[in-house]
Amino acid sequence: MKQIICDEISRFVLEDAGNRFPETGHPFFDDPLLGFAAADDPLFAAYKSIIGAFHLTPFELASAAGGARSWTPRTVICWVLPISEATRQSNRGETVYPSRDWARTRNYGEIFNVSLRRHLVQYLSDAGFRAFAPQLHPAWREYPDSPVGLASSWSERHAAYAAGLGTFSLNDALITPRGIAHRLGSVITDLEIEPSPRPYPSHLSNCLYHRNGSCGVCIGRCPVGALSTSGHDKPPCREHVYGTIPKAVGELFKVASTGCGLCQTGVPCESRIP
């Protein structure tokens, strides 16, 4: 069943029209990476202290999703959608705002990612399993002023880390075998799938700066000084991404959400583990 799930997600990413720029037909995302975490992995309980007590475990989400009858989650299915080379290239030369293709990938590519979540939930349901996407769960909440800054009741990055898909970087993003420029998604199900290994010495080992202090390129890529050797200062980043950029280029690019991505392009970890 594991291979069937992988094949179905890959097929959907390859074939669905939502993963295409309407003007050119070029894809937003390349072939996905897949990983699996056990729903009872102790990491999910640990996230309540690492991220905040508001971060929900798969069991808490499943209980809320089950209505009158709760059910037992077994697996968290996670994926990485690597942003295409052409879009990454378009963003490398930017210094203040994202490129048009990057902004449209953030907006319309995430709409596709939502479609993928819904498709996988329906696919599993049709096969006789219970499933839901945490990001679309009624209990999902955003917490703008938590002790760790902007956070939510389910972190796709932390789920992907639990599923062995990468480690964290100086800028807080996840460096995967396909790099740091991507979108992430997950679905929780009662289908039991063998967990993926976590082949990393630490939760920071893919980042050159954390590994041996030899990098820090992302610091210079940030136009608002939100990155330093101390890490990611979320408030100025958030203001730039959700305040300044949409006002500056949102109407021009005809998108509501633009992202930024400067610290995810033009860096050694853009498309690989450096």
The helix (H) or strand (E) run that includes residue 217 is helix 217-221
Tell me the HSE value of 93 on the side-chain side, using a 13 A CA sphere: 6
> How far is residue 174's CA from residue 204's CA, in Å, rounded to a whole number?
9
Looking up tokens 């976590």 gives: 198
The answer on pLDDT for 263 being more than 80 is yes
Mean pLDDT across 10-19: 98
Q: Output the six-digit token pair for 81.
A: 């959608």
Percentage of the chain lying above the pLDDT 70 cut: 98
Helix/strand/coil for 227: strand
Do 267 and 180 meet the contact criterion of CB atoms below 8 Å apart?
A: yes
| pLDDT tens sequence across 197-228 | 999 999 999 999 999 999 999 999 999 999 99
Higher pLDDT, residue 49 or 65: 49
Greatest Cα-to-Cα distance within the chain, rounded to the nearest angstrom: 54
Buried-state track 173-205, b at ≥16 Cβ within 10 A, e below 16: bbbbebbbbbbbbbbbbbbbbebbebeeeebeb
Neighbours of 54 (CB within 10 A): 14
Closest Cα partner for 158 from 5, 9, 50? 50
Spatial contact of 110 and 183, defined as CB atoms under 8 Å apart:
yes
- Give the three-class secondary structure for 152: strand
Tell me what pLDDT residue 68 has: 47
H or E element at residue 224: none
Write down the mean pLDDT value for the chain: 95
Query: Which of 66 and 22 is assigned the larger pLDDT?
Result: 22
* Residue 2 identity: K
- The rounded distance, in Å, linking the Cα atoms of 249 and 7 is 37
Strand order across the 75-82 sheet: 33-38, 75-82, 182-189, 131-132
For the ranges 116-125, 185-194, 233-242, which has the lowest average pLDDT? 233-242
Angle, vertex CA 76, rays to CA 263 and CA 108, nearest 5: 45
Strands (E), the chain: 33-38, 75-82, 131-132, 142-146, 149-152, 167-168, 174-175, 182-189, 227-228, 231-232
Three-state secondary-structure class, residue 93: coil
Does the pLDDT of residue 251 top 70, yes or no? yes
Phi and psi based region of residue 233 (left: phi greater than 0; alpha: psi -120 to 50; beta: remaining): beta
Per residue in 162-186, pLDDT (tens digit) is 999 999 999 999 999 999 999 999 9
Q: Which two tokens stand for residue 222?
A: 């940030």
Give mean pLDDT, residues 61-86: 87
